[in-house]
Amino acid sequence: MTAEAATDPERTERTGPPTTVNTTAAAWTRALFSHPSRVAVALEVVGVFAIASVLPLRHWPSPSLVALVTALAGALTNAGVRVVIGERLPRWSLQVDVGLGNLFVSVIAAAGESAHINLANLYLLVEVFALLYLPLRSALGHLGAAGAAYAIVLGVGPRTAEPAIIAWLSVFGTAVVLGAVVVGLVSVLRSTAREDPLTGLPNRRMWDERFEEEMERSARSGAALSVVMVDLDGFKAVNDAGGHEAGDRVLQDIARVWRGVVRGGGDFLARLGGDEFCLLAPGSDELGARALARRLADSLPHGISASIGVATWDRSEGASDLLRRADRAMYLNKRRRRRGAGPSSA
């Protein structure tokens, strides 16, 4: 943020002091689930405790006991590897973990059948992990392989009071329903993490990701890259006059109109926060970016104006420096407009 932005009274009043909304539990959960290796270890430990808890409940036949202990040792070994070097392993190693997990659960499920204890529900842990961290096609492939493995277990294992088809459906019917819920939640969370809920435009996180991608692409191709920073003028007055609902409607209207103004071939419009928007214009030099800025200003609803700053990448500065130049140009433009001089685009 530039010095002009930091001292702008309208922005200070609009944004207010920063607040902390993350609780310790939320921060811990986020830290855990952002690292697949940690989640894999946690689920393996849960599985080991689940199996260990049923060992004293039955007199296990020797082959079944050997199978259980072997599977436990395999799960603990894999967990140990993940604890020591998990963060350094390539992403594809998660595929191996899921395959081993299904293998261990199949062995455990077969051993449990001999003592009339259903341990096949542990498949659910493996499939949820796969749906969270693997591509959907791979996760569904593992789910299908697990279903086939359990069908074989039920087909060759000892007869139980419950029909095999019922036992299979109780596990994999649940897996399918749970999988659909997980996929839906992951889709919603990914969208929420990258989309502004009010306007439907990309948010700051998605902007940062796209900005870096476009700078790398521009560096390779030599094409121009420009940034257009937009800050609505006097937007606090809109909220004061009509309430925040009126302000929200104006922001939604602006976003809808601007979607039709930007070029569909690569321009990237995002809402960075409050009444601040930013447009990334790949392939546009300063002249083209200024023309685009004028179109944005001309399409604003009646009674709404904006201060706009334009900066074109000089091919040596970093992303933050380029954005800072556009931000500075926008605030210089805002100052000129307050003095009654200068157009709405820098």
pLDDT tens digits, 34-90: 788 889 999 999 999 988 888 888 788 888 889 899 999 999 999 999 999 988 888
Range of the domain at 242: 198-338
pLDDT tens digits, 176-191: 999 899 888 877 777 6
Residues 114 and 238 both lie in one domain:
no
User: What phi and psi, each to the nearest 5 degrees, are found at residue 340?
Assistant: 85, 20
- Contacts of 90-97 spanning 24+ positions with Cβ under 8 A: 94/36, 94/40, 94/133, 94/134, 95/134, 95/138, 95/142, 97/40, 97/129
Can you give the pTM of this predicted structure?
Answer: 0.58
- String of DSSP letters for 258-319: HHHHS-TTT-EEEEEETTEEEEEEET--HHHHHHHHHHHHHTSPTT--EEEEEEE--SSS-H
Residues 189 and 206 both lie in one domain:
no
Residues 247 and 173 both lie in one domain:
no
Residues 161 and 295 both lie in one domain:
no
Q: Taking Cα atoms as reference points, which of 51, 65, 175, 165 lies closest to residue 118?
A: 51
Residues 182 and 209 both lie in one domain:
no
Measured in whole angstroms, the distance separating CA 224 from the mean position of its chain's CA atoms is: 29
Out of 20-34, 180-194, 267-281, pick the least confident: 20-34
Any residues with CB less than 8 A from the CB of 131 and at least 6 apart, and which? 139, 143, 179, 182, 183, 186
Q: Tell me which amino acid residue 211 is.
A: F
Q: Are 97 and 126 in contact (CB under 8 A)?
A: no
